[in-house]
Amino acid sequence: MPIRRLPEGTINRIAAGEVVERPASVVKELVENALDAGAGRIEVVFEQGGRTLIRVRDDGSGIAPDELPLAVERHATSKLKDDDLVLISTLGFRGEALASIGAVSRLRLASRKASGDGGYEIRVEGGRAGTLRPAAVPSGTEAEVRDLFFAVPARLKFLKGERAETAESLDVIRRLAMAHPKVAFAVIAAERLALDLPRGQTPEERAEAVLGIEFMRNSVSLDARREDVSLIGFAGLPTYSRAQANQQYLFVNGRPVRDKLLAGAVRGAYADVLPAGRHPALVLFLAVPPETVDVNVHPAKAEVRFRDPGLVRGLIVGAIRQALGAERPRSSTGLSTRMWGTFRPPEPASNGFAEPAAVFEGFDRPSAPPSSSAEDHLDQPLGAVRAQLHDAFIVSQTRDGMVIVDFHAAHERLVYERLKAERAEKGVAVQPLLVPEVVDLDPASVSLIEAHAQELAVAGLAVEGFGPSAVLVREIPAILSGASVAKLVKDIADDLSAEERASSLNARVDRVLSTMACHGSVRAGRKLKPDEMNALLREMEATPHSGTCNHGRPTYVELKLADIERLFGRR
Ligand code: ADP
Ligand code: MG
């Protein structure tokens, strides 16, 4: 076949594929245009997940009639000053969105400048532009996209169901809305108001409006800076973690991004406090000098490239860890709301105390009344121990409420933090076994243990292969003395097989330490003496991350006196 130039329409449809993958990409481009035009309010309507209709209207600058035909042409933009690709402050700049959308749908662009006289519209169908016509529009711009991909039916096959496409578009809008708290957003999907955000919010109010009050209650605020890179936002507590990473809102210079480096930094920051498979909710606004970041990597993929990725990663990991650790041990307050439901008022017919004695079942009645020093504990954040219930919980009293501690979970975290501190100082203190212990394992586990012998040694476990289906343990961490060596080794083998190969040695050792910590912790069921319990609370107060156990669950919950009083109708 001879070489020939492709017709304009074909070129446009090929280019369109880069920009317009699905309805959400159209929504993104149109809403970005509205934001670039300085809109104060943006309304989005879509039907059938955006397949049949996407309409975005704004009260921004508007487009002059003579520029409307240009706006839908390829590589026509008003946003690139002096062709400077480095200092780009607007969201769009390639001048190909409208042309691409027009190439694969029926597009109508109507606009009126506040200063000009009357509105105009232009239509584009499958890449063919019509003529400019007068139209009745309020000042601002309305872009209407009907029958998306009618011109490239192959694409239609790749669209998901209406619900999934709608969710995707809403997600795009939420992200843009989060970055522009001053702008009002209204979204109508399938004739229902799906999002309604007022004008003029602060970033905090917008985050709350988008993510909900529970997120705000269960997050810590971030404000950090390294060299000329700054980071603000909110980091969700580990106890507020999700099964999916879809509540992570990341912005670079006000632009929503989905970037591997940033996602990796977030994972690293939480590696210690969240188990695999759990993801934090968070909002991060990163500001870097524009010349140190390249946001043009891909028109639709929202990736960025930093000149100094190490600096950015370090800032994120450091800021989040510090914010989570610097908080006095704090676990989910949302849990107290959730707990609410469990404190049911008594049935009208009974007195509500079916088994009065059961409440204090398991209470380790001290032979003498609690030592007088117990009163000093009242002023501590986690209070003075009052009872041990069901051999699993400590109940303590604070000046303004009460705390219930899951002491098995809490102790596990303390042991883990102690192991990490030992390791950081002079290595994990080990205890040689008088008689090395042979642990029978399946051959796959044996080879895993052998392959990881190095990090296990760093973690204080001296272990070597002992034939194809057993290992020999010579030393264990001193803090675990008395634990079952066989159980420990089996758990570690399970953990090694579940773990990704990619993680660093440090991360792997931490994982091992975390698994070990479960074995060193006070078993639920053992009775603790009052002094031991108070000591545990005091140690929790002094230990970073102690509001969360190694598996991301809360170690304690708190009920304020006011809440208790409300429960009894005293407030
Ligand atoms: P880009 O945004 O990359 O410049 P687009 O194809 O999205 O490219 O838009 C082309 C041009 O049309 C923009 O540069 C802008 O001048 C104009 N335009 C598009 N949408 C709007 C809008 N909502 N309000 C004002 N002008 C707009
Ligand atoms: Mg644009």
Is the pLDDT at 360 greater than 70, yes or no? no
* Residue-wise pLDDT tens digits, 138-170: 999 999 999 999 988 888 888 998 989 999 999
pLDDT-derived band at 175, boundaries 50, 70, 90: very high
Least confident segment among 6-10, 182-186, 241-245, 438-442: 6-10
pLDDT-derived band at 501, boundaries 50, 70, 90: low
Is the pLDDT at 332 greater than 70, yes or no? no
Mean pLDDT of 23-42: 95
- In order of 49, 336, 344, 404, 560, the CA distances from 340 in angstroms are 38, 6, 8, 14, 12
pLDDT higher at 249 or 564: 249
Supply the DSSP string of 503-540, one letter for each residue: S-HHHHHHHHHHHHHHHHSPPTT----HHHHHHHHHHH
Report the pLDDT value the prediction gives residue 396, as an integer from 0 to 100: 92
Structural element, H or E, at residue 294? strand 293-294
Report the pLDDT value the prediction gives residue 341, as an integer from 0 to 100: 42
> Which atom, in ligand 1's list, is nearest to the CA of 61?
25
Which residue among 12, 36, 296 has the greatest number of ligand 1 atoms within 8 angstroms of its CB, and so is best to mutate? 36
The per-residue pLDDT of the chain, averaged, comes to 82
Predicted structure pTM score: 0.67
pLDDT-derived band at 485, boundaries 50, 70, 90: confident
Report the pLDDT value the prediction gives residue 19, as an integer from 0 to 100: 73
**Which amino acid, one-letter code, is at 211?**
L
In the structure encoding, which two tokens stand for residue 272, read together?
Answer: 């210690």
Measure the CA–CA gap between 216 and 205, rounded to whole angstroms: 10
Report the pLDDT value the prediction gives residue 90, as an integer from 0 to 100: 58
Is the pLDDT at 338 greater than 50, yes or no? no
The answer, yes or no, to whether any atom of ligand 1 lies below 6 A from the CB of 33, is yes
| Ligand approaching nearest to the C-alpha of 109 | 1
Report the pLDDT value the prediction gives residue 84, as an integer from 0 to 100: 52
7-21, 79-93, 276-290, 343-357: which is most confident: 276-290
CA–centroid distance, residue 15 to ligand 1 (Å):
17
pLDDT higher at 397 or 343: 397
> Which atom, in ligand 1's list, is nearest to the CA of 93?
3
The answer, yes or no, to whether any atom of ligand 1 lies below 6 A from the CB of 58, is yes
| Ligand approaching nearest to the C-alpha of 80 | 1
The answer, yes or no, to whether any atom of ligand 1 lies below 6 A from the CB of 61, is yes
3-state secondary structure of 549: coil
| Ligand approaching nearest to the C-alpha of 38 | 1
CA-nearest residue, atom 1 of ligand 1: 95
* Residue-wise pLDDT tens digits, 223-232: 999 999 999 9
